[in-house]
Structure formats: C-alpha cells, structure tokens
Structure 1
Amino acid sequence: MTREHYIPFNKEFLLEQQIATFAGNAQKADDFKKLFEIIEHYYHYESFNLNRNLKQHYALYDPDLSEKEREQFINKSDFPLFKETLLKVLERGNYYRINQKALNDAFNESDLIGLNLSIDFNAFKDFELYARGHHKAKEKIKKYFFWTKEVEIEYYDRVLIYLNYSDADYLREKKVKLGKMPIDPGSIALKIFKRVPKNDLETIFPNAIPKMSLKDKLLLWVPGVFGGLSLLSAKVIPALINMYEAYQTGETIDLLNSKTSLNQGLIALGILGAYCFRQYNNFINKKIRYSKTLSDSLYFKNIGNNSGAFYSLLNSSEEEALKETILAYTFLHESEDSLTAEELDNQIESWFQTKLNTDLDFDVNDALLKLKSIGLGLETNGKWEVIPLNEALIAIDELWDNVFQYNQKADALNN
C-alpha cells in the first residue's frame, strides 16, 4: 500500500511529544498546552456544525427513521449538500476512496474464507468504500483436513461503506431481491467497520451471497459425472444385463461372478459418492466460516451505522485536524528560519521515521491552511512561519470569543 496521510497516534500522545520540546521552560509548556486546548474546542465546534448539517441533509435517506419521520424532511434534506459535507468530513479524517481496481482484486481473491461471493450491484444506485490506516498480521487458515497454513493478511484499520439503494421501480424492473433486509428503496446506508481484510472487502456488503467457485464445481461434478458413468457402464450395468438375460433365457445365472461384479461397482459408486459429498461438505464448511466472519463483522467489527456513523467520522476528522495543527505549529515555532512547505513536510516525516519508526505522508498543505485559517500561520514568498506563542494565545482566544457574538449584537441594539 502507498503511504497515507493518516497519523496513527492519538492527539494526547503527540501533544506530550511536542510539549517535551519545552521541558526546560514550564511556563512555555503550560502556554503551549493552553493554546491547543482552545484550538481543540474550536475544531470541536466546527465538528458540531458539520454534524448538524449532515444529520439534516441525510434524514430523508436515513433507513433508521420511520416513513413518517422522513416525510418531515422533504424539501429540507439536500442530497448534493449531504454528499459534499460527507466527503469533506472523510477528507479531514484522512480517509481515502478505495479505487475500483482494489475492489476488483478483493472480489477475485479471498485470504480468509476462500469463498466466492455474489453481489447484485443492481441493488445500488451508487456505492463507495473509504479506508483509513492499514496493518499486517499473521493468521492461520485451514487448508486440507487438519493441515493449517500461516499467512500474512493485510488489513484496513477502518472502512466506511456507502450504499445508495436504487428506487423501488428500478429494483422491480431488475428483479432485485433485497431479501429480509430492513432497508427501504431509495435509502442510503452507511456503515463503519474496523480491521477489514483487504482481500475480503466483499464480506461487508449486506447482500453478498456465497456461491461455488469454478474450481469447487469442477471438483464436485467432473469426478461425479464421468466417474459415475464410467463405473455404471463398466461394472453395474453389464452385471445387471447379464443377470437379466440369463433370467430371460432360462440359463443358469452365475451368481458368484455377477454378485462380485455388481458389488464392486456399487462399492466404487459409494466411494465416489463419499468423495462428492466431501467436496460439497467443503463448500458448506466455507459457507459456515463466511457466516461466522459476517457475524463477527456485524457484532465485533461494526463501530457505526447510518447517522450514528457521523460521530465516529467527525471525531476522527477533529483529531486529525488537531494533530496536523500541533505538528505544523511546533516545527515552525522551533525552526530558526521560516520554512517552505516542502522543508516542513520533510522535517515532520523524518521525525516520524526516526522518533516513532513510522512512515507516513504528512499532509503539509492541509496543515498549513489550517494554521492560516485560525490566524497562527503566515506565508511570505512561499516561506512559512508562525506567530510567537504569547501572541498565538491572544489570537486563538479572540477567534474563540468571536464564535458567539450574541452579546455584541445585544449591545448594538441597545445603542
């Protein structure tokens, strides 16, 4: 996988790492902490507004709401605004879209369940998957009988699946069977999962149905059909014909040879039947493993559904914004000279590599824009610097004070 913008450390840990820079100056360390407490509150307020917009513009498509509740949001929920806001939150949280090639690879391969899944994509007007973070882990998978094999599996840390269901008329036209899923046509389902195998992405689709692979079908039907016909024509049928002809002509039936031939044929057919049953049973066992994987995903790995997913996404975006701001401000503050975006990017990425043994692609442009938007970062001829810590505390306090201006408005009215 390519390097990600996602920073796999929580904000408290990174804040402690940056405060350590001021270990010799207790006042400066305390001021630094106060600065980012106010910034955190400011980003939290931004998240509150984003959450309110998301919930309003999603309500008309929320499958968790009753039809009567959704009707109240007709002409109030705006789908383009909902999608635009959702993508903004995902981008801020350093999620990235899983491209079609990665999806095709996942649908064609399977690391854990070894089972082909059929998904009727006609059920969806649109679907997208977004991921953030990844890691590798050793897993033991069953191969043949009692033999297990240890393989290295690549996981996404978080995956959001966005499913925009088709309208009822289209579903009827395409004869799509939604089964017993409690989902209304035209709804939009959102689900967030943790620790999803890269090559088993299809398991998080709600309408994935297990099917036999070409290999499974060949192993089941080719030996069964050709072996069965061969045994019947070579052993069983000739023995029965001989016995019948002897009975018709009144000749003495050679019971010993006929029974021996017949028994051999039936035993061989029994063995062949047992082989076919074993192959079919292998497929059934894979289905059972898939059902367990699915239940584990729904029970243990699912961390947010529909409007409930907004809280997880917004918390992630808020943390990522704060972490980027913490890092960009500290490195610029401690630099003796102003830095270009590239120089700052290299310094931060190098720090992660040497200090925390982590290779990531720091989103320096986004971090600098955040500093500029809250009045802490200054750019001159492509060089960046930040205002001193004491001035930064005043600037960020004024920013927070101006979030609510009700008193000022009241004073204006009184005057």
Structure 2
Amino acid sequence: MTREHYIPFNKEFLLDQQIAAFAEDQKKADDFKKLFDIIEHYYHYEAFNLNRNLKQNYALFDPDLSEKEREGFVGKSDFSIFKETLLKVLDHGNYRRVEQEALDKAFKDSDLIGLKLSIDLNAFKEYELYVRGHHKAKEKITKHIFWKKEIEIEYYDRVMIYLNYNEADYLKKKKVKLGKMPVDPGSIVLKIFKRVPKNDLETIFPNAIPRMSTTDKLLLWIPGVFGGVSLLSAKVIPALINMYDAYQTGEAIDILNSKTSLNQGLIALGILSAYCFRQYNNFVNKKIRYSKMLSDSLYFKNLGNNSGAFYSLLNSSEEEVLKETILAYTFLHESKIPLTAEEIDDQIESWFKTKLNTNLDFDVKDALLKLKNIGLGIETNTKWEVIPLDKALIKIDKLWDEAFDYNQKNFPVSKNHK
C-alpha cells in the first residue's frame, strides 16, 4: 500500500502517548496539556474562518440553495477563491487527489458487483476525487450460480467527490441528460463517503448507469441467436413444413415422428430460452446488487453533501494539523540538540513503526511550518528546535488573545471564557 501523510490515530490518543514522556513530572505534563488545549482552540478558530470563506464563495454554486437564494451571491461568490480554499482544506486534512490513470482503472475494473457502469462525463466541467486512508478486507463475491469466492478488497477510508457541472447550453449541445438528478447546470456538487472500494469508485458518481458488459452480451446473444436458428432450422421448421404440406396435399405422413421431432425442437428451444433468461437474470441481479450498494452508500456511507461536507472536511483538517503539531513539538522538545527536518521525520516515522506498527509518511515540512507560524519552532542553519514549554505557553496564549483583538471593543472576552 502507498504510504500516506494521514495519521490514523485520534488526537487524544496521540496526546496521551506524548504526555507519557513527562510521566515523572506532573507539572510539565499539565503544562503540556494546557499548551495543546490552547493550540487546539486556535486551530478551531482558523477552521471557523475557513468555513466562513468556503460557504461565502460556494453559495452561488450550491445546488441546495434555490435560484433566488443564489442570485443574492452574484458578485459575492468567487469560484477561484472557493477552489483554492477547498484544496487548502483538503491538503491540511491529508487528502490526496486520485490521478486519472487510477480513475480509468476503477472505471474498467469492478471488485464487488462485476457490473459495467456508463458515466456521461460530458455532464462535468471538472470531476475530481480525493481520498484519505486505506485498508484491506476479505469479501465474498458470487462467481457463478452457487460458487462464492473470497477475495481481498482494498478500500479507501474517506472519499470526497467534486463535480463541477457544465452550463445548460453545453449540456444541450452535447445532448446530456441529467435525468432525475436534482442538480442545476453550472452548480458544484460535493459528497464525502466512507469505506469505498478502490475499484468501485465509479459507483459514487450520481449519473452512473448500469450497462451489460461485452461478456454479458456475448453469453446472452451468441447461444440465443445461433442455438435458436440451428434448432429452428433443424427440428421445428422442417416438422411444421412437412405437416403443412401433408395437410395441403392430403398425403399421409408419419404423425408420430413429426410430432416427436416438433416436440424435441420445442423442448430444446425451451431449454435455450431458460439459459438466455438465466443470463439476463444474472445481469438483473447485478443491477439489484448495484442498487443496494448505491442505497447503502447514500444511507450508511455518506458523511456530508455540498456545504454540509465542509464540516467533515474542516474537522479532519483541524485534527490532522493538531496531530502534526503535537508530534513535531514533542520530538523537538525531547531532543537534546537541534535536528534537521530529515532527522525529525525519521524519528517520528520510526516511532510510529515500532510503537504503533504503522507505516506512514509524516508530513514533516508542513508540521515544521505550522510550528514556525505559531511562534513555537525556530530554524537555524537548516536545524530546528522549539522554545521551552513555559515560554511556549506564554507565546501561544498571546497568539490566542490577539486573534480576538477585533472583538474586544464591543464584545469583551474574559480569559475565563476562552
């Protein structure tokens, strides 16, 4: 599996793991908790501002708003700012973009349903998928009528799909039908799902339509057409012709043999029809499985839609930022000498490997930049260190207070309520 920046442990667990280093000094452990409590509040405040920015610049493209509501945001919503902010949030949350090659492979392959889906990509100006976290699990799939095979499926823990729909004129020109989808041309759809099979990514597209694969068509039509023509020409039609000719001419025929031949032909045709029905029924069953997978995705796996997706994204973004800050500060604090970025990276990744049996690619550059931005990290000649814990508390408390300077004239904030 590909190593990711995503840290698959919650912030409370990681904080407890780092506090263990101060087990013999209760005051230092308490100060450490206070430091990251204030940092967490500060990052939450930043997330609040990002959410406000996203909602403001997304409103004009939000399909959940009425046309009249969207008109109020003409000149106020800026697509470029929205997209830039969205990508920033995704990056902070350690989401990564699925490349087109991987998407094409997912469109071609299918692990769970074995069904070919048709997606009219002309509906979209842009379509992008972003994923975070992955795992493997054993699943049983039906290969033939009664035979089930256990295979290993790779899942993405989180998937966000971004769909920027084309304008109405373009959709009309390309004869794109949106069907029953309640989406207006020119709008932008965002959806977040959990536990999506890597090779079934196409199932989360809202305009995916089940089609018979080439194999399904061959299994249905070749036996049906060639078998049917062969049986009709060899058994049924000759028997009927003989019986009709005899009726016309009044000649005697071997009724028993003619009926036997006709019955045999009709029985064979019945068997062939049953085979064709079974093949078609297999396709119908796949469609039913697809419909169930779709309903499960919408009901059980969907974590947010459109502007509602921002909360899920920002929550994960805020938590990833905090976890990286906790780790970078602690490892630098415990080091007796300044460290290079590579040395910090190696130490943290090695700790995850040996302590938590987890192989990840820690985003050390981002973590150090965060420490520097909040005034806790210092870089000197490519080597990094952090200010002592007592000074860090004063620094971060001042940073938190200054974040609300603009409020203090009209809405004083007591330190007891921070």
Q: Could you say whether these structures have the same fold, taking a TM-score greater than 0.5 normalized by the shorter chain as the test?
A: yes
Q: 1:408 Cα shift?
A: 7.5
The 1:407–1:264 alpha-carbon spacing in structure 2 relative to 1, beyond 3 Å, is: closer
In 2: Cα distance, 1:328 partner to 1:15 partner: 12
| 2:12 is the counterpart of 1:12 | yes
Assess if the C-alpha contact under 8 Å between 1:235 and 1:262 holds in 2.
Answer: yes
User: Residue 77 of structure 2 corresponds to which residue in structure 1?
Assistant: 77
**After the TM superposition, which of the residue ranges 342-351 and 168-177 deviates more from structure 2?**
168-177
Q: 1:244 Cα shift?
A: 1.8
In 2: Cα distance, 1:260 partner to 1:379 partner: 96
User: Residue 113 of structure 2 corresponds to which residue in structure 1?
Assistant: 113
User: Residue 346 of structure 2 corresponds to which residue in structure 1?
Assistant: 346
Deviant stretches of 4+, over 3 Å:
406-410
Q: 1:241 Cα shift?
A: 1.4
Aligned residue for 2:135, secondary structure, equals strand
User: Residue 387 of structure 1 corresponds to which residue in structure 2?
Assistant: 387
- AA aligned to 1:346 is D
In 2: Cα distance, 1:295 partner to 1:242 partner: 57
Identity, % of aligned positions:
82
Deviations 1:141-184 (A, max 9, x none): 11222221111110000000000011011111111111111111
Assess if the C-alpha contact under 8 Å between 1:247 and 1:253 holds in 2.
Answer: no
User: Residue 282 of structure 1 corresponds to which residue in structure 2?
Assistant: 282
User: Residue 298 of structure 1 corresponds to which residue in structure 2?
Assistant: 298
Assess if the C-alpha contact under 8 Å between 1:340 and 1:384 holds in 2.
Answer: yes
Deviations 1:349-407 (A, max 9, x none): 00000000000000000000000000000011110000000110011111111112247
User: Residue 193 of structure 2 corresponds to which residue in structure 1?
Assistant: 193
In 1: Cα distance, 2:198 partner to 2:180 partner: 28
Question: CA RMSD, aligned part only?
Answer: 1.0
- AA aligned to 1:225 is V
Deviations 1:290-335 (A, max 9, x none): 0000000000000000000000000000000000000000000001
User: Residue 103 of structure 1 corresponds to which residue in structure 2?
Assistant: 103
Deviations 1:76-101 (A, max 9, x none): 00000000000000000000000001
| 2:79 is the counterpart of 1:54 | no
- AA aligned to 1:22 is F
Deviations 1:121-156 (A, max 9, x none): 111111100000000011111122222111111000
- AA aligned to 1:274 is A
In 2: Cα distance, 1:167 partner to 1:14 partner: 47
In 1: Cα distance, 2:366 partner to 2:125 partner: 32
- AA aligned to 1:49 is N
Q: 1:248 Cα shift?
A: 2.5
In 1: Cα distance, 2:241 partner to 2:258 partner: 10
Aligned residue for 1:137, secondary structure, equals strand
Aligned residue for 2:315, secondary structure, equals helix
In 2: Cα distance, 1:249 partner to 1:391 partner: 116
Assess if the C-alpha contact under 8 Å between 1:106 and 1:199 holds in 2.
Answer: yes
Q: 1:36 Cα shift?
A: 0.3
Aligned residue for 1:358, secondary structure, equals coil
In 1: Cα distance, 2:405 partner to 2:279 partner: 72
| 2:335 is the counterpart of 1:335 | yes
Scaled by the length of structure 1, the TM-score of the pair is 0.98
- AA aligned to 2:278 is R
In 2: Cα distance, 1:101 partner to 1:124 partner: 18
User: Residue 227 of structure 1 corresponds to which residue in structure 2?
Assistant: 227
Query: What is the 5 A alignment of 1:7-406?
Result: 7-406=7-406
In 1: Cα distance, 2:10 partner to 2:123 partner: 38
In 2: Cα distance, 1:249 partner to 1:182 partner: 68
In 2: Cα distance, 1:272 partner to 1:404 partner: 78
Q: 1:250 Cα shift?
A: 2.1
Aligned residue for 1:77, secondary structure, equals coil
The gaps in structure 2 that reach 5 residues or longer are 411-418
Instruction: Give the paired residue count.
Output: 410
The 1:399–1:285 alpha-carbon spacing in structure 2 relative to 1, beyond 3 Å, is: same
In 2: Cα distance, 1:242 partner to 1:344 partner: 92
Scaled by the length of structure 2, the TM-score of the pair is 0.97
Deviations 1:202-251 (A, max 9, x none): 00000000000000000000000000000011111111111122222221
Aligned residue for 1:325, secondary structure, equals helix
Aligned residue for 2:339, secondary structure, equals coil
Assess if the C-alpha contact under 8 Å between 1:239 and 1:262 holds in 2.
Answer: yes
In 2: Cα distance, 1:310 partner to 1:5 partner: 20
In 1: Cα distance, 2:146 partner to 2:252 partner: 52
